[in-house]
Each structure stands twice: as C-alpha cells, then as structure tokens.
A and B are shown apart, each in its own frame.
Chain A
C-alpha cells in the first residue's frame, strides 16, 4: 500500500491524454457558470447603479448590502440559500452573482461620476435629454472604469466557480475535488484543475482588456 502511494507520479500525462474529452467538457461547464453569473450580475448592477445615480441617497444602502454579500463566504451562501433552491445551479449562481455586484456597481457609479463636470455641462447645454446624455456621453466615457470592474469580477467568479463543484455542478473544480477525495491523493487532477482555472482567468482578463481597448479608441491616442 505504502509502496503504491510512493510510486504515484506528481503529474501523469497519460491520464491527461485519456481524459481530454472530460477536461474539455469541464472547461466549458466552468465557462458557462462564469458567463451566466457575469451576465446576470452585470444586468443587476446596471439597474442598481442607475438607481443609485438617479437617487444618490440609495447608493449607501446599495453598497452596504452588496458589501455584506461580498464578505459572506461562498460556502455559507450555499448553506443559506439551499433551503429555498436546493443544491444545484440556482444556488450556485446566487452565490456567484452576489460576488459581482459590489465590484460592478461601485465601478459603474464611479465611472459615471468620473465624467468631467464640464463635459456633462456641455452635453446639457447642447440639448441632450437626461437618458440620451447617460447613454451617449456618460456611459461611453465610463467604459474604461466599468471594464476594469468587469475584469476583477470575472477573475473573482472564475476562482469561485471551482468551489461550486461542491454542489455537483462540474466545472474545473471537479478535478480538484476528485483529486483530494480519492483514498490516495491524485495530484494530476488537482494540478489540471488549478492550472486550467488560472489560465481561464488570465485569458478572459486579457480578452476583456482587449475588448475594452477596442471599445475606447480615444483613450489610446497620445495627447499633444
């Protein structure tokens, strides 16, 4: 028995070769869980940020509430939400979305409030209506800050999705969990899960960085 443990290699390439299909499926699952959380989180954040911008008094309570959500450990969220939604997708997504809100709302509000007062006044003086001004002037100018928030939220969620495999939802966390749970620890699975989730985070971060730059061409040219 002890002999077998000692001969278990740190990384087994042949295992990877035999399980390519599963690795691919888990990666897609991971992306799906992440993407869903980000889309819902962004939608909710835009709505709540719009409310905070229109009625500045609501900003404090909104950030306080989402701040509390941000500090609750993900395992605790699973436990709290489980009585209503059971163990599964909805519970996982509630936890994931709740982690995006604080970052996204804060960055959206900061981005919009960061629009220079002169620009806002000029837009008003030119005859923009409130909604038009927000969409056509303030929102595009806030994009760099909003994208920065989205990048942080994305990296956070990718890391958290590995935990949601505890709920039996797959994702790359499955390999990590599997590697730990075996009677003999299986390092190859743990390494595959960790390395791929870190790589996913890095790739998505770069993709968002690139998209952000494409969307904001005016920030790239040097001033005179």
Chain B
C-alpha cells in the first residue's frame, strides 16, 4: 500500500508557544493513494493538530509534509488548501450563502465559469443525496444531517484528490451518524479519494478506516495498522485499553460471514423422503428441519410435527433473521443468540448458501 504514497509525514513535531510539552511528537506516517486512514486517540493526542498540519491551518514546528510528491510548503497555503477537501465537526457552512453557493465555494475561488460551476453543483447534490430544491435554501433551513451532506459536497466541489475530515459526524444524532458514516465510506470507495479522518470514537475509526493510527497524549503514534490487525494484536497496553472492551466482538464486526466456513446444516430438499428427513434430524441432533426447493430457501418446519406425509405437505415457517454474504460475523453472532434455532442462515437473493452456529463463529475469533 505504501508504494504509492499520497501523504507522507516525516518526523513532524508541533509545539504550541507557551504550552509545555509537545502537541505532536516526531510523527511519521504515510497515507496511500485512495486509502482511508483514521486518526484516533483521546483528547490531547494531537490528532486534530496533525490533520490541520496537512492543510497548513497549523504549521509544524519541525519535520516535513509531502503531498503527492511535493513538499506542502512549495506553494502558498491558500493554493494548497484549494486542492484539499476539508470537512469539520462544526460544519462551518457560510450562513449568508445558499446551499448551491456554499457548494460552489472552491470552484468560485478557482475562477471556474458559471455554467461549469452550476453543472458541478447539481452533480454533487446528487452524489451526496441532496434534493434539488435544497440548493436555493440557506444553511439554517436544513437539518444537521443535511448540513453535513452539504459540508461534504462543498469539500468535494473542486474534485480534490485528498479529503481531510475532523470529527465530521460528531454533532449529529446517532441514527443519522450511522447512515452518514456508511454513505461517506461508500462515497470514498466510489470516488477513490484519499481520506484522513479524525475521530475520538474508536468504533467509528474501526468501521471507516482501511488503516487506523492510534495516537497517545502528547502526539505519540502507538500503532498504525488495519483495524483487524490492531484488534487482533494491540501493540501495547495503551492501545488495548483504548480499544475498550468487546475487542472480539468489534473484530467480528469487520469479518464477513464468507470468511468463516459455512456449514450445510439440517437442510434438505423438499422432495426428500420423510425417512431421509428424520435421519437428518437425528444426525444433527436438532428439533427443526430447513427446507429447500433446489437452491431456494423455503423455511423451516418443527421436527416434532414431521410424520409420514411428504415434506411438500408441510407449511414451512420463514427464518425471521437471515444474512447475506456481505454481512459481518458480528451480525451473524447476533442472529445466533437471538434466533430460536441458534443458527445464522446465509441467503443471497433467496439462494441458500449455508449456515453458521456458535462454534463456527468462535473458531474464527480464536484463530
């Protein structure tokens, strides 16, 4: 991933005048092109300072920052900033400008022609999911979630290769936040932007980041790796305590069900004989039987109700919770512990893939 480096921090240190101790201490960090990196740590760990040094809102005391092969000091700060998207927690929309004008901020600064700006604004509204009638409104007329969508659209306006985000979803309510996180992640993948994302929320960092940099107070980098690796193997006690409890669960949240070995389980074709059905029940030592029509999942029947009638004559009951191949093992675990059958059934577009039970999930986590 480091062959094509978009942002390189080399031994960057920041000391604020009149403040004892360093805000950032000799930080070296590389962010690959198209990579999503989260900076996470407790308050005072210098994560925001680090972010702001990338677009030179704060200048480092020593060390250098190289962006796309060029020293960040090579051009004036305002020119550098126009080529880097910036999203902040306070959103900071300009209250006196309409949504369209807000989105058009950087293109206007760059002197684009008006028709090009209009086209770009419409395109971005669509990208971030804003209805067209919002464009003529003022920021105060939008909800917090909508405002942050505008914030993201504004940051993307001039199509910068890099996006810096400082706790952008910190102020929106939890339900909207989850949706915005998902959208933001999808957007990043679709557009291939290089993202540096600051958060104090370790779950957000785990969910969003290709890699996460865990920083300690005083701007010390404790670990820089993929969330999976960090959860599996924290570098030290600080990282371990910062990750908090339920590390195993958090890790399960990152692993797809397809990573685990799916079992076939007590599933038989609806054309099977009653005898074969009873044999399957005994073999698996369960009181329910899954029914398939070819590859299609029909549902399940209560084992005690099975008699000599053909399986076709039984009314199958649907599984209340089913997963798809891209679900996480954490969702699978939830399905296992909440479902009557104690299994998680994986179905893609009606086609039965297999099932997981507690053993198969536990096996993944202890690996």
A interface vs B, CB < 8 Å?
Answer: 116-129, 132, 137, 140-141, 216-218, 221-224
B95 and A127 within 8 A (CB) = no
Q: In the A-B complex, list the 8 residue pairs whose CB atoms are closest, starting with the nearest.
A: A118-B90, A122-B92, A125-B86, A127-B82, A118-B92, A127-B81, A223-B140, A218-B138
A221 and B91 within 8 A (CB) = no
Give chain B interface residues in 93-110, CB to chain A under 8 Å: 93-97, 105-106, 109
B96 and A122 within 8 A (CB) = no
Q: B282 an interface residue at 8 Å Cβ cutoff?
A: no
A126 and B154 within 8 A (CB) = yes
B78 and A119 within 8 A (CB) = no
- B138: which of A119, A121, A141, A221 is its contact (CB, 8 Å)? A221
With A and B bound together, what is the CA distance between A127 and B77 in angstroms? 8
Give the shortest distance, in Å, between A147 (CB) and chain B (any CB). Answer: 14
Instruction: For A123, list chain B residues within 8 Å (CB).
Output: 92, 94
With A126-B109, A127-B109 as given contacts, are A118 and B94 in contact (CB-CB < 8 Å)?
Answer: no
- Taking CB as reference atom, which chain A residue is nearest B90? A118
With A and B bound together, what is the CA distance between A120 and B142 in angstroms? 20
With A and B bound together, what is the CA distance between A218 and B94 in angstroms? 10
B143 and A224 within 8 A (CB) = yes
- A127: which of B78, B88, B90, B164 is its contact (CB, 8 Å)? B78
With A and B bound together, what is the CA distance between A121 and B86 in angstroms? 10
- Taking CB as reference atom, which chain B residue is nearest A136? B94
Q: B261 an interface residue at 8 Å Cβ cutoff?
A: no
Instruction: For B164, list chain A residues within 8 Å (CB).
Output: 125
B118-152 interface bits toward A, Cβ cutoff 8 Å, 1 = contact, 0 = none: 00000000000000000001101111000000010
Instruction: For A140, list chain B residues within 8 Å (CB).
Output: 96
Q: B57 an interface residue at 8 Å Cβ cutoff?
A: yes
Instruction: For A117, list chain B residues within 8 Å (CB).
Output: 90
A218 and B105 within 8 A (CB) = no
- A121: which of B90, B106, B137 is its contact (CB, 8 Å)? B90
Instruction: For B151, list chain A residues within 8 Å (CB).
Output: 122
B interface vs A, CB < 8 Å?
Answer: 55, 57, 78-82, 84, 86, 88-97, 105-106, 109, 137-138, 140-143, 151, 154, 164
B140 and A221 within 8 A (CB) = yes
Instruction: For A141, list chain B residues within 8 Å (CB).
Output: 94-96
A125 and B94 within 8 A (CB) = no
Give the shortest distance, in Å, between B131 (CB) and chain A (any CB). Answer: 13
Give the shortest distance, in Å, between A148 (CB) and chain B (any CB). Answer: 16
- Taking CB as reference atom, which chain A residue is nearest B144? A224
B79 and A122 within 8 A (CB) = no
Give the shortest distance, in Å, between B103 (CB) and chain A (any CB). Answer: 11
With A126-B81, A128-B78 as given contacts, are A218 and B96 in contact (CB-CB < 8 Å)?
Answer: yes
A125 and B57 within 8 A (CB) = yes
B141 and A224 within 8 A (CB) = yes
Give the shortest distance, in Å, between B138 (CB) and chain A (any CB). Answer: 4
Subset of 16 A-B contacts with CB under 8 Å: A119-B92, A122-B86, A122-B90, A122-B91, A122-B151, A123-B92, A125-B55, A125-B86, A125-B92, A126-B86, A126-B109, A127-B106, A129-B78, A141-B94, A218-B140, A221-B138
Instruction: For A122, list chain B residues within 8 Å (CB).
Output: 86, 88, 90-94, 151
With A and B bound together, what is the CA distance between A123 and B95 in angstroms? 12
Give the shortest distance, in Å, between A130 (CB) and chain B (any CB). Answer: 9
Contacts A119-B93, A137-B96 known; list 6 others, CB within 8 Å.
Answer: A117-B90, A119-B95, A122-B86, A123-B92, A137-B94, A224-B142
Instruction: For B94, list chain A residues within 8 Å (CB).
Output: 119, 122-123, 137, 141
- Taking CB as reference atom, which chain B residue is nearest A125? B86
Instruction: For A224, list chain B residues within 8 Å (CB).
Output: 140-143
Instruction: For B96, list chain A residues within 8 Å (CB).
Output: 137, 140-141, 216, 218
With A125-B86, A127-B106 as given contacts, are A221 and B141 in contact (CB-CB < 8 Å)?
Answer: yes
Give the shortest distance, in Å, between B35 (CB) and chain A (any CB). Answer: 21
Instruction: For B106, list chain A residues within 8 Å (CB).
Output: 126-127
A127 and B92 within 8 A (CB) = no
Instruction: For B84, list chain A residues within 8 Å (CB).
Output: 125
Instruction: For B93, list chain A residues within 8 Å (CB).
Output: 119, 122
Find the residue from A117, A122, A224 having the highest chain B CB count within 10 A: A122
Instruction: For B57, list chain A residues within 8 Å (CB).
Output: 121, 124-125
A125 and B88 within 8 A (CB) = yes
Give the shortest distance, in Å, between B23 (CB) and chain A (any CB). Answer: 17
Instruction: For A127, list chain B residues within 8 Å (CB).
Output: 78-82, 106, 109
